Amino acid sequence: MAYLFTSESVSEGHPDKIADQISDALLDNFLAFDSESKVACETLVTTGQVILAGEVKSHTYLDLQQIARDVINKIGYTKGEYQFSGDSCGVISLIHEQSKDINQGVDRGTKEEQGAGDQGMMFGYATKETENYMPLALDISHKILQELALMRRENKEITYLRPDAKAQVTIEYSNENVPQRIDTIVVSTQHDQFDADDDKMLEKIKKDIISILIPKVKSQLHESLQVLFDDDINYHINPTGKFVVGGPHGDTGLTGRKIIVDTYGGKGAHGGGAFSGKDPSKVDRSAAYAARHAAKNLVAAGVADEILVQVSYAIGVVKPTSIYVDTYGTSKVNLSDGEIAKKVGELFDMRPFAIEERLKLRNPIYFETAAYGHMGKEPQMVNKVFESPYNGRIEKEVELFTWEKLDAIDKVKAAFQL
């Protein structure tokens, strides 16, 4: 029997994502001026207020308030009528030094002996159903909101958009787990106050989303996926009605509240640990990236059509406590999932410091991860500039999304005789 599967995404202006972006901007600035910084910072945003909290061990000093304000303005909260703006909100910092009890398990005599920054299990997932090896429903949800944000900034074809938004896509699958059609698309977007009555306002928003936004999103997809858009899609556009009050004025936001949006949209699994605001010694983040890197290269090499990789750690211990693989019955090799997992452990060094080195994680590369997903984006080299009243100006060339590189295909093929 055919079945439906749904994933959602949220925009960069969603309160929880504002918090994630502030936390990762703080992390990037600490790493830019001191690459050995240990950072675990959280952010809360609400009406007219930002609260920064957490633990940091670093040799640098930053203007944390200004960094937070710059992020808020960059997202687009720049107007008084939003009841939240980068120039007028209050910013309180409660960040303090990291516990020495935790740090003693991480820092060792040599970097190679670096222990895991926490216990827990992390997951990586990949599937062949999209070109970027991401679940289709999540990929389309991200694209809807990325395009919506672009149109908001251009302010040409749709001129009433505000930063807060959510999208949700439901895909109909066959018994063979092949996407058949898009069943439902939900888009809720914050907007300016209209002069027209509510019914006319909602009618215009729905028309603009369906006739202007969706075709732009469809054109970004491979031809084989464009056919999934038919005339029978159920659209729910701003289904609750008017959405003028939004952002932190409408809903409090916290770092780490969108972990499923950040990863695989409900496909695969999640260990529960959030990413944003954490330096790579925290395996919640680094090991999740390493597991994605392994899963993506395994699928791209032809080991299976769909793969889940789990890795687990004990705090302060160098080697993982376990590596697990699930191919969902799609394996193309004559090995059990347990045997595949053993080879994964041989192919991919999952010790914390080895992950940091392999994926170049002690660089200021994290702000770009904090909206529209940490997985599935294109690896790229960029120049980033950081300025501080205490440390001056620094420019760094860094590589983003290294865990998305298909740089292990050859060794995977050799190992599995593909």
Residues annotated in the binding site, as ranges? 14, 16, 42, 55, 98, 164-166, 242-243, 251, 257-258, 274, 278, 282
- What the block records as the tokens of 188 is 């809720």
Q: Look at residues 24, 161, 41 and name the one whose alpha carbon lies nearest to residue 98.
A: 41
Q: Residue 377 has what DSSP assignment? A: P
Helices 337-347, 283-301: inter-axial angle, 10-degree rounding: 110
**Would you list the DSSP string of 14-75?**
SHHHHHHHHHHHHHHHHHHH-TT-EEEEEEEEETTEEEEEEEEE-S----HHHHHHHHHHHH
Binding site for ATP, by residue number, is: 14, 164-166, 242-243, 251, 257-258, 274, 278
Q: How far are the Cα atoms of 38, 40, 193, 221, 362 from residue 277, in angstroms, in the given order?
A: 10, 5, 34, 32, 13
Tokens of 328: 């969902």
Give SS3 for 306.
strand
Largest CA distance in the chain: 68
What 3-state class would DSSP assign to 219? Answer: helix
Nearest Cα residue to 124 out of 284, 369, 310: 310
Cβ contact 311:323 at 8 Å: yes
User: DSSP class of residue 210?
Assistant: I
Q: Tokens in use for 174?
A: 């066959």
Residue 36 contacts residue 362 (beta carbons within 8 Å): yes
Note whether 42 and 255 are within 8 A (CB): yes
Angle formed by the axes of helices 64-75 and 15-33, to 10°?
Answer: 130
Contacts for 13 with CB less than 8 Å, ≥ 6 apart: 75, 76, 77, 149, 162, 163, 164, 165, 190, 246, 247
Binding region for Mg(2+): 16
Binding residue ranges for K(+): 42
Chain centre to alpha carbon of residue 35 = 22
